[in-house]
């Protein structure tokens, strides 16, 4: 039992270190966390059903989540080498594209819900 607690504690500590490093070094992550903090009360205000609430909040949560993955990929690729390689560029571009798609998801989700709310 004690071993499980130690493993859980270590996992939490590593995760917390990752979050604090992202906050310190990634401007986009900070912006997305602030956006999440601002969007959450707005989602509670504008949603009319629990499903709308979940969709609105989840769509915004995806942004910092994918930013963490993007930053991890970029850091790993940079660790391997800073010289340009087509595959390295492709990996970074695809990770960045995931954030772009998530941003479109936020716009579409919130747009549909807000338009239906105001019409």
Query: Domains of the chain, with CATH numbers?
Result: 27-118 (1.10.287.3610)
Assigned token pair, 52: 């709308």
Whole-prediction pTM: 0.89
What's the pLDDT score for residue 57? 98
Give residues with Cβ within 8 angstroms of 29, minimum separation 6.
22, 23, 64, 67, 68, 71
Known binding-site positions:
11-16, 28-32, 67, 74, 83-85, 92-93, 96
pLDDT digits (tens, 9 = 90+) for 45-74: 999 999 999 999 999 999 999 999 999 999
Phi-psi domain of 85 (left: phi exceeds 0; alpha: psi -120 through 50; beta: other): beta
Eight-state DSSP code of residue 95: H
Checking if the pLDDT of 84 tops 90, the result is no
Catalytic residues: 67
What's the pLDDT score for residue 28? 97
Checking if the pLDDT of 1 tops 90, the result is no
The structure tokens 């995931």 sit at 98
Known binding-site positions for ATP:
14, 74, 83-85, 92-93
* 58 vs 2, more confident: 58
């Amino acid at each position: 039992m004690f071993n499980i607690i130690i493993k859980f504690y270590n996992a939490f500590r590593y995760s917390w270190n990752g979050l604090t490093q992202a906050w310190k070094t990634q401007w986009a992550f900070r912006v997305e966390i602030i956006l999440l903090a601002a969007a959450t009360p707005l989602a509670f205000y504008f949603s009319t059903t629990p499903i709308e609430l979940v969709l609105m909040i989840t769509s915004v949560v995806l942004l910092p989540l994918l930013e963490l993955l993007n930053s991890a990929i970029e850091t790993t690729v940079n660790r391997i080498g800073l010289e340009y390689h087509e595959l390295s560029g492709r990996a970074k571009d695809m990770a960045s594209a995931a954030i772009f798609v998530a941003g479109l998801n936020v716009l579409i989700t919130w747009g549909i819900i807000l338009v239906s709310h105001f019409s």
